[in-house]
């Protein structure tokens, strides 16, 4: 399992090798979606609105990225079960700025 970027940010891809020398082409296994993005927006809004939490220093109110950060696997009964972990960056990346030319 490896991470590669997609339109949804970091996503999980599968590559296999019979000998650890020759590898298959990556195949997309899992990426976040609109529901993950909406859930992330709700979590950030709740933290910003609650004075008991330390609010992220930068919230642009637009870019609510939810990425699949990792997906550990467990072999069980002849199948692999994945446990995806979503990464919701907030506060560390400045919002995108519109660029203008003179």
pLDDT tens string 71-97? 999 999 999 999 999 887 766 555 555
Among 45, 43, 51, CA closest to 87: 43
pTM of the predicted model over 0.85: no
Among 49, 15, 51, 10, CA closest to 32: 10
* Domain boundaries of the chain, sorted by first residue: 2-87
Q: What is the pLDDT of residue 99?
A: 47
- The helix or strand, by DSSP H or E, that contains position 6, with its residue range, turns out to be strand 2-6
In this structure, the chain runs to a length of 102
Q: What is the pLDDT of residues 12-40, one digit of tens each?
A: 999 999 999 999 999 999 999 999 989 98
Q: What is the pLDDT of residue 65?
A: 79
Q: What is the pLDDT of residue 91?
A: 62
Q: What is the pLDDT of residue 98?
A: 47
């Amino acid at each position: 399992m490896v991470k590669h970027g997609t339109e949804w940010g970091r996503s999980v891809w599968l590559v296999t090798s019979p000998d650890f020398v020759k590898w298959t082409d990556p195949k997309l296994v899992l990426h976040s979606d609109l529901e993950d993005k909406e859930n992330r927006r709700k979590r950030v809004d709740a933290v910003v609105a609650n004075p008991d939490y330390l609010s992220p220093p930068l919230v642009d109110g637009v870019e609510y990225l939810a990425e699949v950060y990792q997906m550990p696997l467990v072999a069980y009964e002849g199948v692999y079960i994945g446990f995806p972990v979503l990464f919701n960056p907030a506060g560390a990346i400045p919002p995108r700025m519109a660029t203008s030319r003179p």
